[in-house]
Every structure is written in C-alpha cells, then in structure tokens.
Amino acid sequence: MTPGLFVKQAGPLALIQDAGRFGVSHLGVTQGGAADWISCRWANWLLGNSPENAALEIVMGGNLTLEAEVEVTLALVGADLEARLDDKPLTARGTFTLAPGQRLSFRQPKDGLRTYLAFPGGLIAPEVLGSRACTAREQIGGLHDDGRPLQAGDRLVWQGSELAPRFLPRGVQLPLPRPVCALPIVLGSQAAQFAGRSLYQAFNQTWTVDQRADRMGIRLTGSPLDSALSGIVSEGIPLGGVQIPPDGQPIVLMNDRQTIGGYPRIGALTPSACARLAQCLPGAQVRLQPISATQAQMTHRRQLGVWA
C-alpha cells in the first residue's frame, strides 16, 4: 500500500476538488470544482503544480485530522480554520513539511469558511468525465468516485515529486470575507423585468448570507425583489447566476448548481465574486455591485494572468 496521509478523524465536509468538470452540462452534469478557485490555484502554485491539479477543499474544519505516513511538503491557502501541525499553529498562506507520525488538524472557522490543501503533483483519485471533482448530489468524483467527503480510515496519496516550494507574492489578496463584501454582478436580459424600485433595492441594500447555503446555492436575505415574471422556460445556468424565486430572496447558484432552471435571473456574479461569497459564513453582509460584461471579462483575464 502506497504511504500517504491517513485520515484519523473526518471533518463535516472535506472534499477532493480540482478546476471543475466542463463540457458535460448537456448531460445534466454540473461543473463542481473548488468553490474558492483563487485560493485553490494559489495552493497548487506554491508547489509548482498545474492549476487543474486536485487538492483538498476543507470546509469549517470540524476537527479533521490527517496523520503523515511519509515526509511530504504541502501547501495551505485560504480560510483560517485554526490549522495545527501537532500543537503548532499554521498560517493558511504557505508551505510546510510533515514528518512521518505528525498530525495536521483543523478546528473551526476564524476567518473565512474554506481552505485548500495542495499536494505534490495533485491528489490521486478516479477521473470522471475529465475531472476528479467531488459532487455529492450526483454521487461522482472524490476519493472513491461516489461523491462522498473524506471518511475516517481513508488514505490520501499524490502523484508527483516535491519541487522547491514557492512563497506567495507580496500583495496577494485572498478572497476572504470583509465587514461588507462587494460582489460584482453582470446584469442579464431578464433584469429589465424587475421593477425599478426592486433594481434600486438590489444594488443599494446590504444583503445577509442565509443559513441555507451550500455548494449548490447560497441564499441572500433582505428586502424582497419583485419581477414581472413568475417563471421562465428553463434555461442553462452559469456559475454565479442570481435567481429570484417567488419569495423575492436571491439565490446565488454555485459550483454544484443544477444545470438548468426556470426562475428569472437578475444577472450573474463574476467568478472572483463567487470565490469571495464561498468564503462567507452565514450572517455575513454583502452588496451586489453591477458592472459591465466587458469590465468583468477584463478583470477575469487579469486575475488569470497572475498564474501565467
């Protein structure tokens, strides 16, 4: 048996994720992939990995405990989940080395919700439809190709040798929550079907992240929005699509969203905004900030350019 990291205790939600599963939505298969794709890319970058390599997405912490069976250098980037190497605190912005017998554990969120643990060359897991991303709803991907999070007794192994670790460039800002997070949104064609007062409320009030939030969608609560459309013919849904159901409370559709939907949409968050929202705990305050499609495309290209 190949040595690796042994899962001594499983947290509530530790998932193998990569860049996602694309080109299969016509089959009803969703995108999946790292919810905070920016932090995941930086974790892979620190080890000289490809941005598409599989890493571990750790949500909430929940006393996830991993024990090393072999010496390895890993990278940790994202939320502060009180990570510890044995009893020594770890910062989620760099690399570290585990010796055989040492334990890596995660407790509870202190700043943000998700952190990413990258491995040399990426984690080994079955590839399904071009990705190792774990999608619980569809029961595909992950360590055993069943969509399940890590379980106690699982073993994580990787497929590359260690390279000289890097350091995060000075000035890198991870998409962690702020007192009020600004979330850029590109308006869609159905925005014209919302009353003028609702459009004003959409962009001039502070929304609260609801308890009803997962990798499929995140509800926002505030003054309800009113649309002239009670429903539409079901159509494809992009990452970050903001649906407005009959109660007027927006639902931002995330990585594990359904592929089609019939609620009117006011627009779609940018990919960077989705990464930031994915780090927001219930009760966090956010504001929707309309931008043009051209602005969104230019910003996204610049964001991708830092890894070029």
What pLDDT score does 51 carry? 94
- pLDDT at 163 > cutoff 80: no
- pLDDT at 162 > cutoff 80: no
Between vectors from CA 306 to CA 304 and to CA 308, what angle results, nearest 5°? 75
- pLDDT at 308 > cutoff 80: no
Q: What is the mean pLDDT of residues 155-162?
A: 88
What CA–CA distance (Å, rounded) separates 303 from 308? 10
- pTM score, whole prediction: 0.96
Do 221 and 286 touch, CB atoms closer than 8 A? Answer: no
Cβ atoms within 10 Å, residue 172: 13
H or E element, residue 288 = strand 285-291
pLDDT tens by residue, 87-143 = 899 999 999 999 999 999 999 999 999 999 999 999 999 999 999 999 998 999 999
Q: What's the chain's average pLDDT?
A: 94
> Of all residues in the chain, what percent carry a pLDDT higher than 90?
82
Q: What is the mean pLDDT of residues 292-300?
A: 95
The domains located in the chain, with CATH, are: 5-156 (no CATH), 180-305 (2.40.100.10)
What pLDDT score does 234 carry? 84
Tokens 């990705």 belong to residue: 131
What CA–CA distance (Å, rounded) separates 287 from 238? 20
What CA–CA distance (Å, rounded) separates 227 from 193? 6
